[in-house]
Amino acid sequence: MDIKDKLLHDEVTNVVYFSPWLNNKEVGHIEFYQQLLLLLKEIGIDVRELKCTEDYWARDYMPIQLNENEFLKYRYYPDYLVNTKYINTITDSSKVLRGMGIRCRSTNLIIDGGNMVPCGSYIVMTDKVFTENRKKKNDADFKALLEAELGHPVIIIPWKQHKDDVYGHSDGFIKWCGGNHILMGNHGDCYPKEAADIRLILESYGFEVNEMRFKDKIDSPCYDLNWAYINFLQVGKNIIMPKFNIEEDEIAQKYIHEAFPNCTINQIEMTKIAQKGGALHCISWNIKQTPNS
């Protein structure tokens, strides 16, 4: 795969932000958050809190850092919140960014941060980005506009809405491991055709894809939770991944260790959050900042 990598990736990030709603006694997860902060402190990761957020998720509304000095802010207006009782939980990232000293360029396109996974010099997104912007899937003109706004080539992978996935976020499917390697979650355990289609598309761009699989390794996989292992947080050479006190914990840790042999891996129990549809990547926003930022 002969591509020039200019995108900023998790392996060079050094700061992680969270929403203070995680520490809210009514809607947050206080015990988990305190354990997470303690873990991050022990491994030397700089942790900061966002302001003016409306819920404890963070990834989807915060801008994507394309390189050290370039952030892109987009319209966060997800269909799974619009016209629902949760519409008031849509965070305005402009308010969050005030006073942070971060300059962003903006696009009017509707995007979720969780639907952008940098892989080499590409950004991988599910085709939900088309429907969110009221375009037909595989609209070539819209894809060209998307790439122009992001400033990087985009790989579109297929997504179909299921009862357990109304989000269509690519960070629930894949993670770039460096070079031409991608680790994919266990989507193939439940939806083998869709997983095969995703794999074929990524391979057509020169990537090698390794899939997590639990179905043939244990008798009773917990599909309500084991999808979430791929939604881990990487800050520099440190990885924090979910655990659920199920058989898959050890298997998933082995998959991630093999994919990231140069990283230190820690696990944290987060069943209640994963049951809400997200995990560590969803609740965090990790970026690279200079010491004076």
Q: What is the DSSP string of 109-135?
A: EE--GGG-EEETTEEEEETHHHHHTT-
CB crowding 185-200: b at 16 or more within 10 Å, else e? bbbbbeeeebbeebbe
pLDDT at position 58 is 97
Note whether 114 and 149 are within 8 A (CB). Answer: no
Nearest-angstrom CA–CA distance, 261 and 265: 9
Indicate if the alpha-carbon torsion angle 70, 73, 78, 84 is positive or negative. Answer: positive
| pLDDT (tens digit per residue) in 2-28 | 344 589 999 999 999 999 999 999 999
Q: What number does CATH give the domain 10-287?
A: 3.75.10.10
Pairing state of beta strands 122-126 and 117-119? antiparallel
CB half-sphere exposure, 30, CA atoms < 13 A? 4
Note whether 281 and 114 are within 8 A (CB). Answer: yes
Going by C-alpha positions, the residue among 19, 23, 14 that lies closest to residue 44 is 14
Mean pLDDT of the chain: 95
Q: Where are the domains of the chain?
A: 10-287
Tokens representing residue 52 in the block: 């003016």
| pLDDT (tens digit per residue) in 174-230 | 999 999 999 999 999 999 999 999 999 999 999 999 999 999 999 999 999 999 999
First to last CA, the chain: 35
pLDDT over threshold 90, residue 122? yes
**HEC profile of 21-66:** HHHCCCCCCHHHHHHHHHHHHHCCCEEEECCCCCCCCCCCCCCEEE
pLDDT over threshold 60, residue 241? yes
Note whether 146 and 129 are within 8 A (CB). Answer: yes
Q: Residue 239, SS3?
A: strand
pLDDT at position 288 is 97
pLDDT at position 5 is 52
Nearest-angstrom CA–CA distance, 127 and 64: 18
pLDDT at position 155 is 98
Region 155-181: what's the mean pLDDT? Answer: 92
Region 229-248: what's the mean pLDDT? Answer: 98
pLDDT at position 187 is 95
pLDDT over threshold 90, residue 143? yes
The C-alpha torsion from 156 through 165 and 35 to 88, rounded to 10°, is 100
Note whether 210 and 255 are within 8 A (CB). Answer: yes
The stretches of 213-288 forming alpha helices (DSSP H) are 223-226, 248-259, 271-274
Nearest-angstrom CA–CA distance, 274 and 261: 25
Tokens representing residue 157 in the block: 């992978």
